[in-house]
């Protein structure tokens, strides 16, 4: 991460379902790399990929005094990746972010390509941006928790 110019503080955005399984590993790995790490929890579900929860993320990023080189780590499926990516695209006019996709859809589709968005009451993904992550870290072993035998079974 340091060799990508990322430093200082980091924040991991996740939901309670995924956070319970993997957040401790992300935090310990970021802390070992010298980051001061905070967490932002979004409730689990498509309905929370919303402008209201995006605003909650901005509130927390400001509270944690996240700076321009402070990475956002999106830990979860496509919902978390999309809302965390859009927060990264827009907070301080753009901060670095890293995708750690934990569903099959997120690993093969939503974490790559740089499409970020939140939903609007009038429709899905109506507010968003194209914004590429600095890194996409994929571990197919996490799919076992989702019942995908052998990762892609
Ligand atoms: N940006 C893009 O290019 C793109 C492409 C396709 C879809 N999407 C978006 O992706 C979203 C759907 O993503 P999704 O299908 O990953 O759904 P999701 O993010 O809601 O995840 C599905 C469920 O699996 C849980 N989960 C995630 N990882 C887990 C793990 N390792 N073990 C156990 N449970 C786990 C989640 O908490 C959730 O309950 C939609 O909002 C869609 O619009 C975006």
Cα atoms in the 13 Å half-sphere on the side-chain side of 95? 24
d(CA 22, CA 17): 9
79 Cα nearest atom in ligand 1: 19
Please give the C-alpha separations between residue 123 and each of 50, 120, 126, in angstroms, as whole numbers.
11, 5, 6
Mutate to test the pocket of ligand 1, among 77, 116, 123, 126 (most ligand atoms within 8 A of CB): 77
Distance 42 CA to ligand 1 centre (A): 13
Distance 1 CA to ligand 1 centre (A): 25
At 49, is the secondary structure helix, strand, or coil?
A: coil
Give the DSSP H/E element, type plus range, for residue 130: strand 123-130
Mutate to test the pocket of ligand 1, among 53, 106, 136, 145 (most ligand atoms within 8 A of CB): 106
Can you give the pLDDT of all 153 residues of the chain as single tens digits? 767 778 899 999 999 999 999 999 999 999 999 999 999 999 999 999 999 999 999 999 999 999 999 999 999 999 999 999 999 999 999 999 999 999 999 999 999 999 999 999 999 999 999 999 999 999 999 998 776 554 443
Positive or negative, the CA dihedral 20, 111, 56, 37 is positive
């Amino acid at each position: 991460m340091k060799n990508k110019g990322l430093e200082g503080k980091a924040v991991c955005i996740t939901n309670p379902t995924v956070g319970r399984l993997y957040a401790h590993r992300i935090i310990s790995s970021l802390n070992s790399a010298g980051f001061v790490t905070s967490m932002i929890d979004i409730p689990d579900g498509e309905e929370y990929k919303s402008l209201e929860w995006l605003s909650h993320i901005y509130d927390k990023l400001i509270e944690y005094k996240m700076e321009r080189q402070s990475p956002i780590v999106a830990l979860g499926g496509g919902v978390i990746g999309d809302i965390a990516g859009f927060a990264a695209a827009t907070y301080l006019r753009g901060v670095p972010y890293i995708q750690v996709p934990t569903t099959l859809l997120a690993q093969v589709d939503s974490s790559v390509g740089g499409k970020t968005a939140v939903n609007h009451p009038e429709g899905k993904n109506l507010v968003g941006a194209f914004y590429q992550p600095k890194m996409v870290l994929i571990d197919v072993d996490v799919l076992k928790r989702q019942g995908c035998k052998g990762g892609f079974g």
